[in-house]
Structure 1
Amino acid sequence: MACNTVTDNNSNRMLSIIHKIIQRLSIEMASLSTFACAALCILLGYHAFCWLYRHRLARSNGHLPPRKYPHMEPFFGLDLFIKTGKLLKEHRMLPEIAQRFADHGRTFQTSNLGRTQINSIEPENIHTVFSTRSTEWGVQPIRLAAQEPFCGRGFITTDGEEWAHAKSLLKPGFQRSYISNLTSLEEHFQIMLSRIPKDGSTIDLLPLFADLYLDIATVFLFGESIGALSQNVPFHAEGVLAAFDYAMRGCGIRVVLGPLRFLYRDPKWYEACQKVRQFADYYVERAIEYRQQYLEGKDSKISDSSNRTLLQSIAEQTGDREDLRWQVMQAHMAAQETTGNLLANVFFLLSRHPGAWRKLQEEVDAVGDSDLDWDCISRLKYVRMVLNEALRMYPILPNIFRTALKSTSLPSGGGPDGKSPIYIPKGTMFSTSSYALHRDAAIWGPDAAEFKPERWDNKFKPGPGEFIPFGAGPRVCMGQQKALIESGYIVVRMMQEFSEIESRDNQDWMGQLQLTAKNLHGCVVSLKPLGGG
């Protein structure tokens, strides 16, 4: 009985203590809720004040807001985000973007997962963002967190002094003395040629051109081919091509996800990133050895810059292993698929426009037995016109983004008529579609959707911000001339080997997007060898 009494007393005492704790917690939780509500109100009030202040400041300076996209959910733009995912999956993103500009004007505003985004194909705005005020706009807030696990910090992922440092390391490697030797290109062209049927049977040229430029790129970067064409892959490169492709696709997904990139938790992606880094490190160690010889003046090839690789050029300037790895990996990213995709687009178009093929034949026939060097290719006017027109119709980089690094402005796109300047707060995103820009009838005329190389004769020259296949301004692609000369070389050599081309695919070009764009259906053709073969 006494024991029961003691137990009851202890239980009552415990219940009393628990009750007091609950009361105190309730008070504290209530206080916490009150604090949270107050903090939220202050935060909302602060943002409302900032918005009102910026709005009044903008109007006082003649700035007006652009037209807004009619979101169903305007705060985070989830409706557009979900629609974008569906369009990417169905490979219908590029024409949809062009249609948005047709529907909502050359400049309009959207919400990108809660971030304000200005979309514009107004050349004056593009020129401002990429050239005249390029220091006020950057890529690091968009790209670095998404791509750093794969390719680190370099000219693709950073801004400011870090970007300038990366560019200074790479720039010497793109001097003409480095890139004018086309001997290696001919060697790999011959391997590709052996894989093209001579009996007129059907072949998809897209994977062949992709393999060609994987080999050319790795020779330029590292000094040896990865063996994509010959299928004789070095032991240290086994599985690297698949890993690189997987890593690039993952980077594209993470860029699209933006602040939601943490949702992309694919272990295979991290494994692919690691494999590609190990591949790059193999050549970085070679570059360190080269650097030692270079500093000691022992390398016999130093006097001949055409024999240097890009990685060796960088190693002459720095011995930092991370710097070497990240710069060469980002250079590989920039070279991956770009020139191969361009060539596939060229022959896709030529297979459907026999008149352009015949004009090319006439120009190439006039070359005769002349050496196909840099100067010779540069003089081939119609070859360059065809390349430009393919880049106009199917740009390899169809969407380009920037973020405002400070509060700034755009010269046009605001107000009901779209002609007033727009105030741009820090953190605002800017997006332009070269695919839509290059098909704008206001610039290119009523035949903008047609393949017409003749538009590039001497009478026509695009203005600033009107033609941006390689970007523009300080961040324009350093390999632009290399890509155009090598593409021109392959076009000429194909014309010298084949007399006719025929499309074996009646499907329209459909953009498959990763970080670049290529035709989902490839370049399915038949080729007739010169002389009947």
Structure 2
Amino acid sequence: MCLTETELIKELLSKYSTISGKSWLQQQGSKHFIGRGLLMANGDDWYHQRHIVAPAFMGDKLKSYAGYMVNCTKEMVTSLEKEIEIGRTEFEIGEYMARLTADIISRTEFDSNYEKGKQIFHLLTVLQQLCAQSSRHLCFPGSRFLPSKYNREIKSLKMEVERLLMEIIQSRKDCVEIGRSSSYGNDLLGMLLNEMQKKGSSNLNLQLIMDECKTFFFAGHDTTALLLTWTMMLLASNPSWQQKVRAQVKEVCGGAPPSVEQLSKLTLLNMVINESLRLYPPASLLPRMAFEDIKLGDLHIPKGLSIWIPVLAIHHNEEIWGKDVNEFNPDRFGSKSFAPGRHFIPFAAGPRNCVGQAFALMEAKIILAMLISKFSFTISENYRHAPVVVLTMKPKYGVQIHLTPLD
């Protein structure tokens, strides 16, 4: 069933979050990619995992990541400036954003060196594309067990990702065992390992820890990289908004990287990011399955029914957003006429909303504020507009923009 009635969507996502979730078919589709991490868990498993990982994205813990985000962005800005000095003007900005967000998630959540993070990031990207292809394959019962070229390739990539993750995990365990460290660390991986060591904690094993790592490695860089890429494209195509945001960033931050406290004052940048998420939500569809019979409004939803919430269609609904629904107009977020959780759901809603939402928005604001204060950008004549869904919504041919340093 495709659900577009916004009141019913809110009811399903908030009231029935425990008796609806990810179907067996979805779990199978992403089994080799992100396994049974938080994104694919249901019921008590989901509740337990959410309870463990949520503190990594809250309060002072969240604020402590800002320094990593600023430093990683500074490194990217320096590399862009060097390339401009030797005569390069056009950049495929999506590649830079993907590298930057992978770097940030490596350092903030796994504290590993970027080289190992880079390998995991590359392998997961290939795995994502392969797993997305599976929905287009002719499927017959038992075909996933056949040693076909496709199945062998997926298995080999999965084993390599887990080998790299095991190296990171093992080095943490070694440090504790030889007494160099008293805990496994206070980042996400450390929290998971500390939880596993608790007496009587049988809910976490090494496979689940690796699945959680893969989930956050993917969710922590891919979706944010896409948000940044689409926002850069929109700002490059709308110079008047670019100027307005730049002026506010300069006024609030005075030419320095933004502090956590200053981010809430960047209201125009916040409106631009929301409009980007409305036009190009990274997750264009929220699939759920009813695990019990549900009464939703006047509807009877039988157990086992798949429910699709078409985020893209809701974000482009003329009745909700007006006649200019397909146009870039951040002013619409200046008024509170939309309803988060019903009309605007880029991070889903209710208890199962995106646990890393605050992390992603903080990261996006810091990166965009630093870039807009260093460069002026325009869209390249080589840019071909072709959004395509490969689990997430990507620009098929990349986003080419011209960068000009600001004096």
TM-score between both structures, scaled by the size of structure 2? 0.88
SS in structure 1 opposite 2:31?
Answer: helix
Verify: 1:478 aligned to 2:355, yes or no.
yes
The aligned counterpart of 2:201 is none
Say whether the 8 Å CA contact 1:219–1:309 is kept in structure 2: no
The aligned counterpart of 1:158 is 41
**Cα gap change, 1:397 to 1:238, in 2 (>3 Å):** closer
Aligned runs of 1:391-470 on 2, under 5 Å? 391-411=277-297, 421-462=298-339, 464-470=341-347
Verify: 1:288 aligned to 2:173, yes or no.
yes
The aligned counterpart of 1:310 is 188
Aligned equivalents of 1:193, 1:446: Cα separation in 2? 38
Aligned equivalents of 2:181, 2:110: Cα separation in 1? 21
The aligned counterpart of 1:126 is 9
Deviation string 1:59-83 (CA, Å, 9 cap, x unpaired) is: xxxxxxxxxxxxxxxxxxxxxxxxx
Say whether the 8 Å CA contact 2:35–2:211 is kept in structure 1: yes
**Cα gap change, 1:291 to 1:141, in 2 (>3 Å):** farther
**Cα gap change, 1:287 to 1:435, in 2 (>3 Å):** same
Q: 1:459 offset after TM fit, Å? A: 4.1
More contact order relative to length (CA 8 Å, sep ≥ 6): 2
Verify: 1:223 aligned to 2:111, yes or no.
yes
Q: 2:225 aligns with which of 336, 340, 344?
A: 340
The aligned counterpart of 1:525 is 401
Q: 2:162 aligns with which of 270, 277, 288?
A: 277
The aligned counterpart of 2:208 is 323
For 1:216, give the aligned amino acid: I
Say whether the 8 Å CA contact 2:378–2:403 is kept in structure 1: yes
Verify: 1:202 aligned to 2:90, yes or no.
yes
Say whether the 8 Å CA contact 1:141–1:403 is kept in structure 2: no
Deviation string 1:364-421 (CA, Å, 9 cap, x unpaired) is: 120215662211112210010010000000000011101111122332xxxxxxxxx2
**Cα gap change, 1:275 to 1:469, in 2 (>3 Å):** same
**Cα gap change, 1:463 to 1:471, in 2 (>3 Å):** closer
Q: 2:388 aligns with which of 484, 508, 512?
A: 512
Verify: 1:244 aligned to 2:121, yes or no.
no
Q: 1:507 offset after TM fit, Å? A: 5.1
Say whether the 8 Å CA contact 2:6–2:343 is kept in structure 1: yes
**Cα gap change, 1:423 to 1:449, in 2 (>3 Å):** same
For 1:245, give the aligned amino acid: T
SS in structure 1 opposite 2:195?
Answer: coil
Say whether the 8 Å CA contact 2:34–2:215 is kept in structure 1: yes
SS in structure 2 opposite 1:366?
Answer: helix
Aligned equivalents of 2:126, 2:16: Cα separation in 1? 35
SS in structure 2 opposite 1:430?
Answer: strand
Say whether the 8 Å CA contact 2:383–2:400 is kept in structure 1: no
Aligned equivalents of 2:118, 2:229: Cα separation in 1? 26
Q: 1:321 offset after TM fit, Å? A: 2.3
Say whether the 8 Å CA contact 1:346–1:387 is kept in structure 2: yes
Q: 1:488 aligns with which of 326, 340, 365?
A: 365
Q: 1:297 offset after TM fit, Å? A: 8.3
Aligned equivalents of 1:436, 1:520: Cα separation in 2? 20
Aligned runs of 1:101-116 on 2, under 5 Å? none
Say whether the 8 Å CA contact 2:257–2:366 is kept in structure 1: no
For 2:102, give the aligned amino acid: L
Aligned equivalents of 2:173, 2:26: Cα separation in 1? 29
Structure 1: tracts of 5 or more residues without a match: 1-117, 227-232, 303-307, 412-420
Say whether the 8 Å CA contact 2:387–2:396 is kept in structure 1: yes
The aligned counterpart of 2:202 is none
SS in structure 1 opposite 2:288?
Answer: strand
Q: 1:131 offset after TM fit, Å? A: 1.1
SS in structure 1 opposite 2:30?
Answer: helix
Say whether the 8 Å CA contact 2:70–2:257 is kept in structure 1: no
TM-score between both structures, scaled by the size of structure 1? 0.68
Say whether the 8 Å CA contact 2:236–2:401 is kept in structure 1: yes
Aligned equivalents of 2:56, 2:72: Cα separation in 1? 21
Verify: 1:376 aligned to 2:274, yes or no.
no
The aligned counterpart of 1:96 is none
Q: Which moved more, 1:468-477 or 1:181-190?
A: 181-190
Aligned equivalents of 1:387, 1:293: Cα separation in 2? 46
Verify: 1:365 aligned to 2:250, yes or no.
yes
Q: Which moved more, 1:262-271 or 1:471-480?
A: 262-271
Say whether the 8 Å CA contact 1:120–1:432 is kept in structure 2: yes
Q: 1:186 aligns with which of 53, 60, 70?
A: 70
Aligned equivalents of 1:309, 1:258: Cα separation in 2? 42
Bigger radius of gyration, 1 or 2? 1
Say whether the 8 Å CA contact 2:63–2:260 is kept in structure 1: yes
Aligned equivalents of 1:461, 1:314: Cα separation in 2? 37
Say whether the 8 Å CA contact 2:341–2:348 is kept in structure 1: no
SS in structure 1 opposite 2:76?
Answer: helix
Aligned equivalents of 1:393, 1:340: Cα separation in 2? 15
Q: 1:271 offset after TM fit, Å? A: 0.4
Aligned equivalents of 2:357, 2:28: Cα separation in 1? 27
Q: 1:289 offset after TM fit, Å? A: 4.2
Deviation string 1:436-479 (CA, Å, 9 cap, x unpaired) is: 11010111111111100111114434254111101111111111
The aligned counterpart of 1:62 is none
Deviation string 1:220-276 (CA, Å, 9 cap, x unpaired) is: 2210242xxxxxx34xx6854442222222332346669758545411111001111
Say whether the 8 Å CA contact 1:139–1:401 is kept in structure 2: yes
Aligned equivalents of 1:457, 1:179: Cα separation in 2? 26
Structure 2: tracts of 5 or more residues without a match: 198-204
**Cα gap change, 1:290 to 1:428, in 2 (>3 Å):** farther
Say whether the 8 Å CA contact 1:404–1:427 is kept in structure 2: yes
For 2:395, give the aligned amino acid: N
For 1:311, give the aligned amino acid: L
Identity %: 23
Aligned equivalents of 1:204, 1:328: Cα separation in 2? 28
Q: 1:513 offset after TM fit, Å? A: 2.0
